[in-house]
Amino acid sequence: MRFYEFEARKIVELAGIPVTEYGFCTTAEQARKAAETIGGPVVVKSQVLSGGRMKAGGVKFAETPDEAAEHAEAILKLEINGQMPRGVLVDPKAEVKQEYYAGVVWDGTAKRPLMLFSDIGGIDIEEVAEKHPDHVGRGHLSNLLPISDFEAKQTIAATGVTGSQLNRATQVLARLARLFRDNDMILAEINPLAELTDGSFVALDAHMEMENEAVGRQKALLRRQLEIAADDTREPYEPSAFERNVAAIDAADHRGVIQGRDHGFQGNLGLVIGAGGGSLTLTDAVRSQGGKPANYSEIGGNPSVAKACGLAKQVLEKDGVEKIAVMMSIVSNTRVDIVARGVIKACLELGRDPGEAIAIFRIPGAWEEEGFKILERYGVEYCDRSVSIWEAAGRAVAKIQGTPA
Amino acid sequence: MPKQLDKVFIDVEVDASVAADGALAAKLEEVCPVDIFKAAEGGVEVVEGNLDECVLCNLCVDAAPEGAVRVVKLYER
């Protein structure tokens, strides 16, 4: 789950990390008042869940409250990467001596949190790591043991920071590491972490992402402290008609589970796929062999015929879809005959010949003999577990490309 | 608007001799996990929209007198 900057700043503040006095505003008038309260020059920043705000004109500097209100008015109407802003953040234009980077990310390979620190802040840490690797300190943390300040200090010291800067930055990084673990984050980043002219350290910008699976147990933070509504799911983009329709079909029938995504997919091979991680593997298998998926989907848990039919119809009706591949990775309890009925019915209801529209059917598992009888009756090419998912995906790709498998 | 097809894969035949039996109709409605049977005023009513959901459990066949209810796999014809 992603957080807006104003929420990330609040999380940082709750963890005891100093931040500048900022105001979250949803109107130009509120922005004017926030700028008056702050006093002096301010920066007005669009609150969208997207990068590239500066380039898109979503970050503007103002010398006076009136100017801040003007900028807020414009920014509140400005769409950035398909998103309208939730509001604007009015922040003082800080007198910065030096910018640093402090972050904690989940290291999926090591399966532990990883602290990162750099004495070069304000730009992407990836860029710093590439161009100035000696300016990036790293340190893994335990998932269980208490986080000690010395671990943060070692990470910072590796970048050459010493003296009072080292001591002050240590407090920030250690607190950031604790908030990362306590709040089930997958990313907690302060960039830039600014050293002001008076020597104090403040977080000028923060970026936080929480593990989706942890949302249920972080209600105290999400609902009470950040006042985020339960239905505010923070999807990275607006669901397409395909995605909404598939979700509605799934919600209307308790039997089994279907999901569908088509963001970023524009291919000609529709995928009706699933089973224990099978969807990702099958999508990869199709792409690796030159296929162009039209969507991603998941089907399993013994859906009804109507549900399997509903998903297949949605996939078949997508623009550009020529054929569908119906595949699962492993032997599961999802009944082969029920899914076979569903996908064939989808073809028939759309006036398509199942034998032509279904490039391949590979679902091994319960009631497969019954399923194979149905598939044979309608002339659908099928295979059992003796054909690997790689090979099945390859046959589907070959069929849609008109080349021999 | 795409059409909706019923009875593509499965049909259920209820013998005329028991079709008006209210007690049997109630029993079939109770045992069928996918709501193919409805106990109507005139006895057993088959809900055509649910026929293809049949999971071939044969609970209806077992609940009725021998041979009175038959589940037909249309794809085997």
CATH 3.30.470.20-classified regions of chain A: 1-20+95-236
Residue of B nearest to A377 (CA): B75
B3 contact residues in A (CB cutoff 8 A): 349
Written in H, E and C, the secondary structure of chain A is CECCHHHHHHHHHHCCCCECCCEEECCHHHHHHHHHHHCCCEEEEECCCCCCCCCCCCEEEECCHHHHHHHHHHHHCCCECCECCCCEEEEECCCEEEEEEEEEEEECCCCEEEEEEECCCCCCHHHHHHHCHHHEEEEECCCCCCCCHHHHHHHHHCCCCCHHHHHHHHHHHHHHHHHHHHCCEEEEEEEEEEEECCCCEEECCEEEEECHHHHHHCHHHHHHHCCCCCCCCCCCCCCCHHHHHHHHHHHHCCCCEEEEECCCCCCCEEEEEECCCHHHHHHHHHHHCCCCECCEEEEECCCCHHHHHHHHHHHHCCCCCCEEEEEECCCECCCHHHHHHHHHHHHHHCCCCHHHHEEEEECCECCHHHHHHHHHHCCCCECCCCCCHHHHHHHHHHHHHCCCC
CATH for the A1-20+95-236 domain, from 3.40.50.720, 3.40.50.2300, 2.60.40.1930, 3.30.470.20: 3.30.470.20
CATH for the A241-401 domain, from 3.90.1150.10, 3.40.50.261, 3.50.50.60, 3.10.105.10: 3.40.50.261
Q: Order of strands across the sheet with A59-62?
A: A23-25, A88-92, A42-46, A59-62
CATH 3.30.1490.20-classified regions of chain A: 21-93
Strand partners, A203: A19, A193
The confidence score (pLDDT) of residue A96 equals 92
Interface of B with A (CB under 8 A): 2-5, 8-9, 34, 52-53, 55-56, 73, 75-76
Q: Name the minimum distance, in Å, from the CA of B8 to any CA of chain A.
A: 8
Q: What is the per-residue pLDDT across A70-115, written as a single tens digit (0 to 9) for each?
A: 999 999 999 988 788 999 999 998 889 999 999 999 998 899 999 9
- A–B: how many Cβ contacts below 8 A? 35
Dist CA A214 CA A181 (whole Å): 11
Dist CA A341 CA A303 (whole Å): 11
B34 contact residues in A (CB cutoff 8 A): 304
Tell me the domain boundaries of chain B: 10-76
User: What number is the ipTM of this complex?
Assistant: 0.95
Residue A272 amino acid letter? V
Q: Which two tokens stand for residue A76?
A: 């509140």
Given a contact cutoff of 8 angstroms between Cβ atoms, the answer to whether A303 and A339 are in contact is yes
pLDDT above 70: residue B2? no
- Cβ atoms within 10 Å, residue A176: 28
Which residues of chain A fall short of a pLDDT of 70? 236-237, 331, 404-405
Q: What is the per-residue pLDDT across A162-210, written as a single tens digit (0 to 9) for each?
A: 999 999 999 999 999 999 999 999 999 999 999 999 999 999 999 999 9
Task: State the pLDDT confidence band at B28, using cuts at 50, 70 and 90.
Answer: very high
Dist CA A100 CA A98 (whole Å): 7
In degrees, to the nearest 5, what angle opens at C-alpha A117 toward C-alphas A113 and A122? 120
Mark yes or no for CB contact B53/A305 under 8 Å. yes
A345 contact residues in B (CB cutoff 8 A): 5, 8-9, 52
Residue of B nearest to A366 (CA): B55
Residue of A nearest to B77 (CA): A377
Does A21-93 carry CATH code 3.30.1490.20?
yes
Report the residue count for chain B: 77
Candidates A245, A254, A304, A305, partner chain B, best to mutate (most B CBs within 10 A): A305
Given a contact cutoff of 8 angstroms between Cβ atoms, the answer to whether B9 and B73 are in contact is yes
Q: Name the minimum distance, in Å, from the CA of B18 to any CA of chain A.
A: 29
The confidence score (pLDDT) of residue A33 equals 95
A305 contact residues in B (CB cutoff 8 A): 9, 52-53
Q: Name the minimum distance, in Å, from the CA of A373 to any CA of chain B.
A: 7
Does B10-76 carry CATH code 1.10.260.40?
no
Given a contact cutoff of 8 angstroms between Cβ atoms, the answer to whether A172 and A153 are in contact is no
Out of B2, B34, B76, the one facing A313 most closely (by C-beta) is B2
Residue of B nearest to A309 (CA): B4
Q: Which two tokens stand for residue B62?
A: 């077992």
